[in-house]
Amino acid sequence: MSASTDTVHHRICPLCEACCGLEITVRDQRVIGIRGHAADVFSAGYICPKGVALKDLHEDPDRLRTPMIRRNGRHEPATWDEAWAEIARRLPALRAAHGRDAVALAAGNPSAHKIGLQLTIPRLAKALGTRNVYTASTLDQMPRHVASGLLYGHWMSVPVPDIARADLLIVLGANPVVSNGSMWTVPDFRGKARALQARGGRLVVIDPRRTETAALADTHHFIRPGADAFLLAGMVHTLFAEGLANPGGLAALVDGIAAVQAAVAPFSADAVAARCGLPADTIRALARDLAGTPRASLYARIGSCTQEFGTLASWLVDVLNILTGHLDTPGGAMFPQAAAFAANTSGPAGRGRGVALGRHRSRVRGAPEVMGEFPMVCLAEEIETPGPGQIRALITLATNPVLSAPNGARLAAALDSLEFMVSLDIYLNETTRHADVILPAASPLEDMHYDLAFPQLSWRNHARYSPPVFPRAPGQPAEWQTVLKLAAVATGADPSVDALALDAAQATQEVQQRFGDAAPQVLEATAHLQGPDRLLDMALRTGPYGDQFGRRPDGLNLAKVQAATPAGGIDLGPLEPRLPALLRTTDGRIGLAPDALVEELARAARDLARAPAPLVVIGRRDVRSNNSWMHNLPVLAKGPYRCTALVHPDDARRLGLTEGALAQLRRDTPQGPRSITVEVACTTDMMPGVVSVPHGWGHDLPGMQLGLAAQRPGANLNALLDDTLCDPLSGNAVLSGVAVEMLPAGPASVPPADPTASAAAPRTAVQA
Ligand SMILES: Nc1nc2c(c(=O)[nH]1)N[C@H]1C(S)=C(S)[C@@H](COP(=O)(O)OP(=O)(O)OC[C@H]3O[C@@H](n4cnc5c(=O)[nH]c(N)nc54)[C@H](O)[C@@H]3O)O[C@H]1N2
Ligand SMILES: Nc1nc2c(c(=O)[nH]1)N[C@H]1C(S)=C(S)[C@@H](COP(=O)(O)OP(=O)(O)OC[C@H]3O[C@@H](n4cnc5c(=O)[nH]c(N)nc54)[C@H](O)[C@@H]3O)O[C@H]1N2
Ligand code: SF4
Ligand SMILES: [Mo]
């Protein structure tokens, strides 16, 4: 076959927050090459192994191509008509009998990468009218949203390091060399960090493990897991104690500085040092360094969020950036300006409604609602506990909480007790195996792409669009069509209802509400579009760079962004200062000392003297893995065994553990003991007293269709963790710093072979 028949497609990778632009070569309807798109204005050719794995994902024989219906305990392929008929038969009746809250929604990480899901899941939730909405946000970054909401008036107003101009970057509880960044869209972090160093700047990493990012850093400090809020409070205390607190240009906009000063009084560097496992002098030096470097910022991520004081830590990060004059300044922590869909670019500038937390509470433990959802750690108990409002049916959308949420075994049992469960997913996996009906999503290569969330978190402003690489298989709807139809069918519509008609009706209604007299023109101008494309065109045109439907002819619209795809998209320039216009607080100011957080500081002060546990567990990510669902792809599954427990050699000696042998990690919980068995790897990269185990493994359950992943299943870290623990303000799960015991469990019976290299691949880790 001659290369002249090859076609080249440009496509943003939907797999992680880096949003790399890819160049995909197709021959005879098959992907023959994937590489970074060198001309991409945002990612400049960067790619990681997961981007390459999109080919394997597209071709994975285990990826679902038809709906599945469970009959007599087994999932069988079904037609779409059969699947819709089954949903229509069961879901509306359940709602009618038990009320709106009886049907719950759970959405996962991939939905943040898919505009079709992001635009329709809120509609589904609204149609169902249920309070029982759960997402992976409460396993991840909810503390960050709460801190942003309270400070700046909107959940998504999250400052990110202006790395291109920084001279100092302090990274806390994040490993962007491996994760490729989170709540910060920054492809090729390594290259950008090296450029920072080349111009004389410094990278400092604070992490209980000497990570891949720490290896790149100028300085690395260990910190005791869960102690971030204490470290940060100690740094704030130092700023005040040494007269270094100075918000610079923001002074006139910020209230509550004295209240912060009073609230951090118990947290001198000396007082917090033991809790942090860091010398007091180091804590003071970090504060001085941040204050004394004109272009600097502190960036913190999941390690600082998934803990008992997660919101407190997230808030203190911003307090530090503000009090050192680094918020909203070049080289500091800045707010990106997205071209579309950003609430902090729409409506009146500089003022808004602020955010409300806890408008209602979860039924069983009384957890506050945040951003319209309840904590994922409440899901199992809300299914199990009888009474009005009990969850009897569940819709999961791109989520695998049986592996990704703490106490997965409890959740799995709860899922089995549901009267009905529907999943929109690409696999029959640990979670969807409980579903009565599984609706398959299209392959990502069959989907258009425009990132809704990540341009609000990007290292540089940009607008990039990808058309689908392949047409969808006959009969396969786009995910947005499936979700719109699900919203209708679940609430009683006939299963023959047409998703395109629903979309057209909703778009007309929305345009009429938003544009009033101008609605007919807007409808005409977008009549050739449907679904996310139509909403995107409207958002781009009315956005901060938009053409305002012709009033600003040089501005953006969908056609222009689409036309720029082969050239790598549209660069919208470096980050610019955005305060005060970005604020959506009710008074148009930044209240630095929200009551809820001052109270959290008081709670932390009471906890300051808590003695450290001898051994605690933390998580870990690997470049060739993505949460729980990419272990079935050959290009990622190959190579060394990854689900290992890293411990310091001193701990191994103390506990009688041997490199390469098995260890049992165990905990006593109020519900009884829990344990997993994992292979030991000894390394001085670990802080003594800390063991690191990756999450997302444990592919050894029956009834799944994940052939390759099942060959090296690994153990489920979350089987060990607790759904009773959470950060009280955000409801975020505690996934880090949990006390465990570790005991020798004998030799690894068979070496963990690479399943892609040989036929026989043994199971090496089992879940107790
Ligand atoms: N212990 C511990 N637990 C953790 C973490 C940790 O660090 N430590 N990290 C947490 C974090 S940050 C997150 S975000 C959560 C993730 O939690 P989840 O979102 O629940 O888990 P994922 O593993 O991302 O699972 C994604 C699901 O979406 C499906 N999927 C993939 N692509 C598509 C698609 O295009 N369409 C549809 N419809 N489905 C798709 C997959 O098959 C899988 O079922 O895990 C959390 N769990
Ligand atoms: N390759 C790969 N990339 C991914 C993912 C993946 O699974 N694999 N998942 C994606 C998702 S959903 C997310 S949310 C992002 C997350 O992106 P990151 O936030 O960068 O996540 P991690 O790599 O888990 O880094 C967290 C770091 O925190 C450290 N840590 C653990 N506990 C503590 C603590 O108490 N305090 C401090 N200071 N540090 C602690 C850990 O050792 C780890 O190095 O990554 C995304 N990218
Ligand atoms: S870094 Fe993330 S976005 Fe870039 S290729 Fe890898 S998985 Fe895709
Ligand atoms: Mo995440």
> How many domains would you assign to the chain?
3
Query: Which pLDDT belongs to residue 747?
Result: 87
Residues 459, 164 contacting (CB under 8 angstroms): yes
Q: Say yes or no to pLDDT of 188 above 60.
A: yes
In a domain, 645, yes or no: yes
Residue nearest to atom 6 of ligand 3 (CA): 48
Whole-number average pLDDT of the chain: 96
Q: Looking at residues 514-542, what average pLDDT do you find?
A: 96
User: Nearest 10 degrees: CA dihedral of 579, 585, 588, 591?
Assistant: -90
Looking at residue 762, its pLDDT comes to 37
Q: Among the bound ligands, name the one nearest to the CA of residue 178.
A: 2
Please indicate, yes or no, if residue 527 is contained in any of the structural domains: no
Residue 253 lies in a domain: yes
CA distance 228 to 656: 30
Q: Are residues 596 and 736 in the same domain?
A: no
Shortest-distance atom of ligand 1 to CA 404: 47
- Is residue 46 domain-shared with residue 179, that is, in the same domain? no
The answer, yes or no, to whether any atom of ligand 3 lies below 6 A from the CB of 16, is yes
CA distance 102 to 109: 23
Q: Is the pLDDT of residue 749 over 60?
A: yes
Q: Which of 318-328 are b and which e, b meaning 16 or more Cβ less than 10 Å from the residue's Cβ?
A: bbbbbbbbbbb
Same domain, 158 and 288: yes
**Residue 662, pLDDT above cutoff 80:** yes
- Among 571, 606, 641, residue at a domain's last position: 606
Average pLDDT over residues 362-373: 98
Same domain assignment for residues 270 and 206:
yes
- What are the pLDDT digits (tens) for 453-477? 999 999 999 999 999 999 999 999 9
- Asked if residue 675 belongs to a domain, the reply is yes
Tell me, yes or no, whether 30 and 157 share the same domain. Answer: no
Per-residue pLDDT at 86 exceeds 90: yes
The model's pLDDT over 315-351, given as tens digits with 9 standing for 90+, comes to 999 999 999 999 999 999 999 999 999 999 999 999 9
**Angle in degrees, CA 113, 522, 10, rounded to 5:** 35
pLDDT at 5: 87
Residue 499 belongs to some domain of the structure:
no
The residue whose CA is least distant from atom 5 of ligand 3 is 51
Q: Of 576, 606, 636, which closes a domain?
A: 606
Output the pLDDT for position 768: 28
In a domain, 534, yes or no: no
| Ligand 2 geometric centre to CA of 304 (Å) | 9
Percent above pLDDT 70 for the chain:
97
Answer whether 67's CB lies under 8 Å from 439's CB.
Answer: yes
The average pLDDT across 95-124 equals 98
Residue at a domain's end among 606, 634, 659: 606
Atom number in ligand 1 closest to CA 427: 42
Which phi-psi region, left, alpha or beta, contains residue 689 (left: φ > 0; alpha: ψ -120 to 50)?
left
Q: For ligand 2, is residue 208 a contact (CB within 6 Å)?
A: yes
Residues 252, 303 within the same domain: yes
311 and 194 share one domain:
yes
Q: Which ligand lies nearest to the CA atom of residue 400 in the structure?
A: 1
| Tens-digit pLDDT profile for residues 214-227 | 999 999 999 999 99
**What mean pLDDT is predicted for residues 666-691?**
95
Asked, for residue 99, whether it belongs to a domain, the answer is: no
Return the pLDDT at 761.
38
In this predicted structure, what is the pLDDT of residue 339? Answer: 98
Residue nearest to atom 28 of ligand 1 (CA): 398
Residue 707, pLDDT > 50, answer: yes
Contact (CB, 8 A) for 228 and 736: no
Q: What is the pLDDT of residue 4?
A: 66
Do 624 and 601 belong together in one domain?
no
Residue 157 domain flag:
yes
Residues 665 and 600 in one domain: no
Pocket test for ligand 2, best of 140, 316, 376, 621 (most atoms within 8 A of CB): 621
pLDDT on residue 753:
65
**Cβ of 118 below 6 Å from ligand 1:** no
pLDDT for residue 765 is more than 50: no
Q: Does the structure show a pLDDT above 60 at 2?
A: no
Q: What is the pLDDT of residue 759?
A: 41
Q: Is the pLDDT of residue 756 over 90?
A: no
Mean pLDDT of 674-689: 97
Q: Is the pLDDT of residue 758 over 80?
A: no
Q: Residue for token digits 């100011």?
A: 589
Helix ranges (H only) for 310-398 are 310-323, 379-384
pLDDT higher than threshold 80 for residue 429? yes
Report pTM. Answer: 0.97
* CA–CA dist 551, 573 (Å, integer): 22
Cis peptide before 580, with omega less than 30 degrees from 0? yes
Provide the residue range defining the domain that includes 314: 152-347+587-606
pLDDT tens track for 240-295: 999 999 999 999 999 999 999 999 999 999 999 999 999 999 999 999 999 999 99
Between 356-370, 508-522, 532-546, 750-764, the lowest mean confidence (pLDDT) is in: 750-764
Is 763's pLDDT higher than 70? Answer: no
Ligand in closest contact with the CA of 696: 1
Cα 490 to Cα 124, 126, 422, 478, 507: the distances in Å are 9, 12, 10, 18, 20
For residues 175 and 302, state if they share a domain.
Answer: yes
Q: Are residues 594 and 674 in the same domain?
A: no
The yes-or-no verdict on residue 527 having pLDDT over 70 is yes
Per-residue pLDDT, 748: 82
* CATH number for position 227: 3.40.228.10
Instruction: For residue 34, give the CATH number of its domain.
Output: 2.20.25.90
Reported confidence tier of residue 764, pLDDT bands at 50, 70, 90: very low
For residue 48, the CA-to-ligand 3 centroid distance in Å is: 5
643 and 757 in one domain?
yes
Per-residue pLDDT, averaged over 129-156, amounts to: 98
What CATH number corresponds to the domain at position 720?
2.40.40.20
Measuring from atom 4 of ligand 3, which residue has the nearest CA? 20
| Ligand 1 pocket residue status of 136, Cβ below 6 Å | yes
